[in-house]
Structure formats: C-alpha cells, structure tokens
Structure 1
C-alpha cells in the first residue's frame, strides 16, 4: 500500500468511526419524548439516557488514549469498535429505561476508546503541510455528528422506531471492523496506566452529575444530594492532588501551563455546556410544546446542524494562516447571540420563521469553533503527547456536555415542566439564557489564546542557535 493510499484509508476509517460514536451523543434527543412514553421514563431517566453515555465517554477518554499508546492504536481501535457495536445492539433491545441507561454507559466506554485514537491515527497519517486542514475536517465531522444527532434520530424514530437509532450502528461497526485491520499499527511513548486517577475522576464526576440531576426531585438540601455533591467535589480535588504527584498521570497538569491549551479547553467546556443542554431541550420543545413529529423536530434544527459541514473545512484551512483564536472567539460569540436570540423570541406558539435566523447564526458559529480547536490543542504539546492532549480535550468537552444537560435541565424543571406548552416554554427560556451566557463567557476565554505570529515575527523573536549558545556560555 502506497503512502497516499494509507493516508486515504486512515482518513476514511477515522472520520466514519468518529462520526458514528460522536453521533450517539445526542442522537437520542429527538427520541426522548417517545422513549418517555414507551418505557415510562422520568425526566431524571431521560437525562441519564443522554448523560450515561457522555459521562463514561468523558471519564474513559484519557485511559483510551493511554491504552492505545501501550497496546497499539489499531488494536485498541478494533476493541473499541467491537464494544460500541455490541452495546448498541444491547441498547436497541432494552426493555426498560434502566437497561437502556446501562447499555448507553457501555457505549460510552467504547466511544471513549475510539475517539482519541481516530485523531492520533489521522494526525500521524497526514503530511504536516496539510495537518491543519485535515484536523479541521476531523473537528467538523465531530461537530456535525453532534449537531446532526437530532435530525438522524428524528428521521429514524419517525420512519421506523426509536430502537433503530441504535440498530443502525451495528452494520456500520461490522463494516468498519475488517476495514480497520488495513491500518498500520502504531504505538505511543506513554505505556503507564493511571488507575487511581481513573477511579477518582470517575467518582468525582458521577457524584456531581448525580447531585445535579436528582437535586430538584430529592431536594437540594437532602442528605443524599449534599453527600453526592460534596463527595464528588472532594474526589475531584483528590484527583488533582494525585495527578500533580503521579509518576505517569492520565492528565498531565503541566499541559495547563500552556495558555493556548488552557484557554482552548476552557472554551470547549463552556461551548459544549451550552450546546448540549440547549439541544436537549430544544428538540423536545418542538415535539412537546408545538406538536411536531420527531422527524419534523429534527428538520427544524437543520439550519443549525448543517452549517458546520459548510463552515468548518473553510475555517480549518484559513486557521493555518491566521491562527485559531479569531475563529474560536467569533464562533462562540455567534453561538451565544443565536441562543440569546432564540430565548428572546421563544413562546409556546412561536412561528418557525422567527427561529431560522438564530439557528443559522448558531450553526455558523459552531462551525467556526469546531474547525481550529483540535489544531490549537495539539499544537500546544509535543508530537509524542498528542494522544493525551486529544484525550484531554475530548474529555473536557464531554464533561461540559454532561454538566450542560444536568444544569439546564435542572433550571427547566425548576421554572417549567411538561404539563402544557406554556409551562414547557417557561422552563426553556431561562435555560437558554443561561446557555447563551455560558457560551459568551467561552468567547471571552478564547481571546486568551495567543495570536499566531507572522513568520517574520517568529524569525525576529527567536535567536539563532549559535547566538543562543554563545549567550548561554
């Protein structure tokens, strides 16, 4: 196989695998009203249907990258695809909400293994001169998969049944498995596994998310909720303390000394917070408050979801020349304005024409953000550390999604509910305002990313090696 053929195979397999696993973040969102009726699920169980996946996805992402470094990236990609495919079948067969939530949690583990490996495999296969464009496409595919989940889910639920949003993964996974054997095996420098870090981060996130999801129902001052939130916070503090002194940490905290890495990841956290939480509620709004079918609901969000496919590749190519900061900051600003616009005009009977503009604006902003973020993050670390850096970025954005669904749904329950269209809108509007404010804060953080220096600036600011050696002597 020639070098060009290897690059093409790596690109196709990586992007298809990435699209499949990332799609499942929100593919269930348009199916939630149907699942609520079919399985008799509560609002808390609906939240867990989304968050069980994103939570295990976030927790195991860094371990997935480390396993690939140790045992082989191709081998672990095959294992991750196998886990994801099998658990998708289990989710499709779920007879109860509890079964579905458990299957979704296992799906998240498979996705956590696959996602960072697709990035490192693709990055290694593409020439350095085209890396920015390739990573822009990778980020665009990830963003498109997240955003198109509601449309795909709605079409499948309307055309067949909600179970088929999971059955569809099975043939795709079975096709990808033999194709992935054609990839070249590669290993990373990081052979150690950080099991204490995995346990502490998992316990901490689970405690906090559990408290946020069940706080309204059980009471925010109830012993169980207080214990969950306090215990989760304590576990995360212990995680940071452990990572600071661990010989081989799953999340090297020194990465965060780099301003570009810290700012890009903080912006990603806030972006996914606002986006996940908003999509979780908006897809239900069209069905529950306005009476549309799952497919009609997904189609109405299409102006939002289609934009990243158009914008991300273009923004990715230009970000190589001007840097990622302007694209990320402007993109988050547009996304925040779009959500605020929706919140300002939303009523139980609002016409769809009033929502098209903000959806398009949000979609353009989403595409502008997705395109450069991977390149900004990976450019902040050494090449041999890209696996951990990509895992960290993916984990942080999934944590943002988990928290966004939990917090915005909590606001929705506190101020509204499912009793009537008007009640649903009463809960939706304040939740969207919070989402817009959080993403707006992300835009400010993106401005902290250092600007890309012009070549002549880099030449002037970096001393010649002989001069540097002379000065050192």
Structure 2
C-alpha cells in the first residue's frame, strides 16, 4: 500500500516536483499565444507558421497522451515522468534557440511528446504514492497549483515577451526541469500500474497522431494548391479510418471502442469537441487581435486575458458542487450559451479598444460561462463510465478537447479568409476576426443544444472528480486512474475539497 504522508519531507518534495513538472505543460499551453506576433516578426513567419507553432505541439500531445499513461504503467511512472520532463526541457531549449520557423515547429512537436509523457505521470505518481488518508488533499493541492500556473500563464508570457523576449517563454522551462528531475529521482518512489502487462498500442497512437497531423496540414495549407491539399486530406481521412480499424481489432487498444457504447459518455465528448474547438480558436485569435488590431503590448494582452482563468481558478470547485445538486444538464447548456455571448461581445474589440468598456465585459461573461461548464463536464465524463475506467475516460476527454482546439486553429483562418500575412495588417485581421467570432459562438451554441438534448443526470454511485480546482482554458482537467484498492465512493463523497 502506498504510504507517503503529505506532512513528511518526502511528501512535500513529491508534491513539489509533480506540480513543477505538470506546471511547465500548463504554462506552455497558455503563454505561447501571446508571443505569436513577436515570433512572426522576428522569424519572418507566415500566419501558417504561427498556426503550426501552436498545432505541432497539440498534435503530438493529443495523439500520445493516452499512450503516455500506459508507458508509465509498464515501465514505471517516475521513469516515464522524468523522461517526459527531460524531453520537454530539451525541446524547450531548441524552441528558444530556433533560428527559423521550421526548427521552432519541429521542436514544438517534440515538446508535445514530452508533455504527453509527463502530464498523466504527474497525477499518477501522486495517486500511487500518497497514503490513502492524504491522497485527496495531495490531488487537490496538485490541481490547485496547476490552476494557478495556467492562470498566470498569459501574464507571464506577456511580461517575458515585452521584457527579455519571446525566446524566454521557452527557455524558462529549462531551469525548472533542471530543478525537477533530480528532486524526482531522489524523493519520488517508483511505481507501476495494473496495466503493466499486455501489448502497447503504438500503432494506434501513431495512426491517431498521423491523422491529426495530415488533416491539420490540409486545413492550414489549403491555399497552397488543390492537389497537395487533396492528397494530404485524403491521407488524413485514411489514417483516421485505419485508426478506427486498429482500435476495433486489437486485444489491448489505446482507445477501446466500447467506451463509446454509453450514450452519456459519447454525448459529453461531443459537447467537449464543440466547446473546446471554440475556445481553441478564440484564444488563438484573440491574443493576436489584442496586439495586431487593438495595439496592446504583449504584457497588456496577456494581462487582459487573466479574468477568464482567474474566474475558473476561484469558482471551479463551487461550480462542481452546484452541478452535483442541479444535475449536469443545466450547467452544460447554460455554460456554452454564456460563453457564446462573451465571444460575440468580443466583436466590440477593434482598433484602440478601451479595456474596461470593450474587452473586460466580454471576458467576464466568457469566464462565467467557463466556470459554469468545465467542472460539471469533467464530473459527467467520469460519471458516465465504471470506476475502473475513470482514468481512461478522462484521458479520452482531454485528448478530444485538445484535438478539437488544434483543428479549430487550423480551420478558422481558412474559413474567414485570412491570408498568409493577415496578422501584419490590422484592417485585414480585424475583418477576419469579426467573421471568426460568430463561428466560435455557433460551435458553443451547438454544444449547448447537444447537452440539452442528450445529457442526463448520472447514477449516484459513479466515480467523482478528484481535481476540482483548475484554471486551464485549453483542455478539461485530467483525472488519473483510480488507485489500486479502488477509488469508489458513495454518492456525493469527495476525495478532496480542492
């Protein structure tokens, strides 16, 4: 039985290193958008290169995050976590030194691989190492500190870009990793999981990531010529079909198809795809809009985005508790509608936008919608499966959200007519932004309609979230596998108060 106590020196070091490792990924998911205009200017990059700067990372992270958890179960969670931190740091160093957009994009893809290894491993280490009496509190602290990291990301990114330069957005990860790795090796006990036997679904992971990469390429490079785009798009669809075939016929698939047999699980993931596609497109374009059109500095743009993540950090746990009483259908319907209203309010943001009058009201409405929606969404995903599959269900939901975001970042510039240099022209970018926000709002409204039509109150004896405090806007919080011995709790009981 795991026996590390939270109050012990080893327990504090264990929590510190897992928070530090996962915090690098959470920070990176929010700071890069603010740096994009400066990256484009310094590297003479096109809009497509900026899209790939975001999406190369998301392709490998979304495609491999389920495999990352399985690798930890097989080879040891600490070992895979440390490997992920090292890979993330090495890729961050290369990002910071990148002389061309191509090198930056390749390094971002490697960053995503590191993130896929360390993100599930950090939570799994906590669940596998701490004494059962301390596990809930440790998970609550892990998710809370991670939420703080995600919340300060845009501000920190803006400060770095305005001060030392955009390269420090990536170089900052190197000293954090240098601190994290030796602490993990010295203080974190090794552990393996219940899935330590059987074959890895490497083929499934490769096909899933390849399908995402090819479809993303076809969307981003759609103006490059019909033939190459048609070929890559068809290849992406073929890879997606092959992925489905492999997962259906393997004995130990990465993504068991029968998990979608439950109507509730499928419905909530459809809602997830709609809302996180909207969020991915919104935050990518808004970070550019505030700088390119409104004339904000990177620091001002990063600070401007703080209200959404701050609201989530402050009120996500209360939102989850409220949804327990009302059921998930109401918050999963009202939340996306509030977000859609906030998205449309951003149409007021143009040249010389006044922050209190034009920007802040929209972000407050958007943040209120995210508070209303995200915690109940996670709870409903977990409650739609058996306890033993809670970690898998959360991983699928997290990967679906990231995949939806990357496809939105790829598709929105195409759908709104943004040219390769649109982000260098305030007039052209503003016009395209005004066409993009209604599309984001439409995706959110579709999510609300799906939730109202399909989501129902789950049974009371299903798994409950352990990560209740969070501030991440790019994906729902990741829950781990229930620890050996079970995590089943009676209806309404919580592992922590987060």
TM-score scaled by structure 2? 0.82
Q: Decide which of 258, 263, 270 is 1:266's aligned counterpart.
A: 270
Instruction: Quote how far apart the aligned CAs of 1:269 are.
Output: 2.1
Q: Which stretch of structure 1 is more off in the superposition, 366-375 or 61-70?
A: 366-375
More helix, by proportion:
1
Q: 2:207 aligns with which of 192, 200, 204?
A: 200
Q: Which moved more, 1:112-121 or 1:432-441?
A: 112-121
| Deviation, structure 1 residue 430 | 1.1
Alignment check: 8 A CA contact 2:317 2:375 kept:
yes
> Per-residue CA shift, 1:5-53, capped at 9, x if unaligned?
4776655444433232022123221111111111111111111111111
CA–CA distance in structure 2, aligned partners of residues 424 and 140 of structure 1: 36
2:234 maps to 1:227: no
Q: How does 1:345-384 map to 2 (within 5 A)?
A: 345-352=348-355, 353-384=357-388
Structure-1 separation of matches of 2:396 and 2:297:
37
Compute the displacement of 1:199 (Å).
2.2
Counterpart of 1:309 in structure 2 is 313
Distance in 1 (alpha carbons) for counterparts of 2:375 and 2:140:
4
Q: Which stretches in structure 2 are left out of the alignment for 5+ residues?
A: 462-498
**Residues of 2 paired with 1:400 and 1:19: CA distance?**
22
Query: 1:243 pairs with 247, 252, 266, which one?
Result: 247
Matches within 5 A, 1:41-440: 41-124=45-128, 148-181=152-185, 182-190=187-195, 191=197, 192-215=199-222, 217-219=223-225, 222-320=226-324, 322-343=326-347, 345-352=348-355, 353-414=357-418, 417-418=422-423, 420-440=425-445
- Contact 1:154-1:296 at 8 Å conserved across structures: yes
Q: Note the C-alpha offset of 1:147.
A: 5.9
Deviation at 1:340, TM superposition (A): 1.7
> Which residue is 2:5 aligned to?
3
Is the Cα–Cα contact under 8 Å of residues 60 and 112 in structure 1 kept in the other structure?
yes
Q: Tell me how far apart the structure 2 counterparts of residues 332 and 390 of structure 1 sit (CA, whole Å).
A: 20
| TM-score (normalised: structure 1) | 0.86
Kindly indicate whether the alpha-carbon contact (under 8 Å) linking 1:137 and 1:371 is maintained by their aligned counterparts in 2.
no
The alpha-carbon distance between structure 1 residues 236 and 244, as it changes in their structure 2 partners (threshold 3 A), is: same
| Distance 1:143-1:324 versus aligned 2 partners, 3 A rule | farther
Q: Note the C-alpha offset of 1:286.
A: 1.6
**Contact 1:140–1:367 (8 Å) recurs in 2:** no
Inter-partner Cα distance in structure 1 for 2:253 and 2:295: 50
Structure 2 CA distance for partners of 1:272 and 1:127, relative to 1, 3 Å: farther
1:469 aligns with none
Equivalent pair of 1:132/1:319 in contact (CA under 8 Å): no
Q: State the Cα distance separating 1:93 from its structure 2 match.
A: 1.1
Residue 28 of structure 1: SS of its match in structure 2?
A: helix
Aligned counterparts of 1:373 and 1:143: Cα–Cα separation in 2: 17
5+ residue gaps, structure 1, are 456-473
Which secondary structure state, in structure 1, belongs to the residue aligned with residue 22 of structure 2?
A: helix
Structure 1 residues 2, 147: closer, same or farther in 2, change over 3 A? closer
Larger mean Cα displacement after TM superposition, 6-15 or 108-117: 6-15
- Quote the offset at 1:111 in angstroms: 0.3
Partners of 1:400 and 1:133 lie apart in 2 by: 32
Alpha carbons of 1:184 and 1:316: their partners in 2 closer, same or farther (altered >3 Å)?
farther
Task: Specify the alignment match of 2:451 in structure 1.
Answer: 446
Change (3 A) 1:42 1:159: same
The question of whether the paired residues in 2 share the 8 Å contact of 1:347 and 1:422 is answered with no
- For 2:227 and 2:178, how far apart are their aligned partners in 1? 46
Distance 1:404 1:132 in 2: 35
**CA pair 409-53 structure 1, distance change in 2 beyond 3 A:** same
**8 Å contact kept, 1:135–1:375:** no
